[in-house]
Every structure is written in structure tokens, then in C-alpha cells.
């Protein structure tokens, strides 16, 4: 294992000086504006960042928009993301995690009562709608941990339309528990 060490104080001072030259910083949310991001909005509204440097713009994501991609394309400097960042890291995305602010996955499966999905093994033979970058890795890891074969679940791309669940096009969809977040930054 290789470790890179650097002077945290010197690095923090360097980052602070570079951000003082910026007029604004973009914070990319992992989804649309909602209560889970209220702290960021409150900090902007109460001018918490004003005296510390540039203006902070909070950007919402839409369907098939992912913070790691947006940060990598330099459209935002910071982002809120989930553990899908590990897959991005494995693919050499130049993003670092600044803080992990959860102890469990924010992703849950939402299913209709008549689908009879109560435990992970109940999803075997079912149609589950997942986003590759939001929840798929956690779902597959959960099944493997439970001793199940992931290939026995029909995984469909996420349409971001709950009508697919309501109208029985899928048996379950991944959704995010809004009380959990992770903050990332472009290198």
C-alpha cells in the first residue's frame, strides 16, 4: 500500500487563497432541490460563505445527471454524492471525497405491496429499476452479502418515473433516503 502525505495546513491555506480569487463556486447537488439539502441553502441565505470567499451557487441535478460527471467536466467544484463515488474512483475519475457523512447506504428499494419483496432474496426473479451511478453497486453488494446471485435479478435502467412501478412495469425501484449525504471535490 502506498500513502501520499502532505501538509494539511499548507494545502488548506493554498486552497483558501485560490478560492478567494474565484468570484463564485458551484455546489452540485445529487438531485433536485429538496429538504435534504436545506443546510446548504440556509448557509447561503444566512451569508455564511460571504465573508469566507466567493459566492456559492447551488445547482440541482436532473434525470441522468450525476455530480461526479458534472464536477469532472468543470461545471462545478464541489458536489453531494453517495457511495457510487467508489465506482467513479475505480474508473480513475479525478475526484476526492472531502467528507463521508453517513454510516449506511442512503439507497432503499421501493416496491409495491403486491410484489412481495420484503427481504433481499425476494428480489430474485423480479424486475428492479436501478441507476448505474445511484444505488446499483449497493444493491448488488447487498444481494451478494446475502448469498444471492445478482444475475437472477432483472436489472433495468432507471427511468426516474414512478409510474413504471405503479403500473407494474417493474417490481421495485431504487430511491434515496433524503437524510444521508457525502460531499466531493474535483482534484
Strands (E), the chain: 24-28, 55-59, 78-81, 95-101, 107-111, 127-130, 154-157, 172-176, 181-186
- Considering the domain 107-176 in this protein, what is its CATH number? 3.40.190.10
Does residue 152 carry a pLDDT above 90? yes
Chain region(s) in the chain for CATH 3.40.190.10: 8-103+179-186, 107-176
pLDDT at 122 over 80: yes
Q: Which of 14-18, 31-35, 58-62 has the highest mean pLDDT?
A: 58-62
Q: Using the structure block, give the residue that is written with the C-alpha cell 451557487.
A: 57
- Grid coordinates given for 126: 423480479
The topology under which CATH files domain 8-103+179-186 is D-Maltodextrin-Binding Protein; domain 2 (3.40.190)
Q: Please give the pLDDT value at position 154.
A: 94
17-49 pLDDT, tens per residue? 655 566 788 888 887 777 778 888 888 888 877
Beta bridge partners of 127: 154
pLDDT tens per residue across span 68-97: 888 888 888 888 887 677 777 777 777 777
pLDDT at 61 over 90: no
Residue-wise pLDDT for 153-168, tens only, equals: 999 998 888 899 999 9
Amino acid at each position: 500500500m502506498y500513502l501520499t502525505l502532505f501538509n494539511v495546513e499548507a494545502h488548506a491555506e493554498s486552497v483558501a487563497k485560490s478560492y478567494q480569487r474565484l468570484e463564485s463556486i458551484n455546489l452540485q447537488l445529487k438531485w433536485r432541490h429538496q429538504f435534504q439539502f436545506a443546510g446548504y441553502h440556509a448557509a447561503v441565505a444566512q451569508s455564511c460563505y460571504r465573508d469566507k470567499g466567493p459566492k456559492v451557487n447551488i445547482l440541482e441535478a436532473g434525470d441522468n445527471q450525476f455530480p461526479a460527471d458534472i464536477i469532472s467536466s468543470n461545471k462545478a467544484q464541489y458536489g453531494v454524492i453517495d457511495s457510487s463515488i467508489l465506482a467513479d474512483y475505480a474508473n480513475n475519475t479525478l475526484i476526492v471525497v472531502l467528507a463521508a457523512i453517513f454510516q449506511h447506504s442512503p439507497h432503499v428499494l421501493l416496491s409495491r405491496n403486491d410484489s412481495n419483496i420484503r427481504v433481499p432474496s425476494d428480489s430474485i426473479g423480479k424486475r428492479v429499476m436501478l441507476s448505474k451511478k445511484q444505488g446499483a453497486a449497493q444493491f448488488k453488494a447487498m444481494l451478494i452479502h446475502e448469498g444471492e446471485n445478482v444475475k437472477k435479478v432483472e436489472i433495468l435502467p432507471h427511468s426516474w418515473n414512478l409510474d413504471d412501478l405503479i403500473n407494474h412495469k417493474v417490481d421495485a425501484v431504487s430511491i434515496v433516503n433524503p437524510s444521508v449525504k457525502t460531499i466531493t471535490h474535483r482534484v
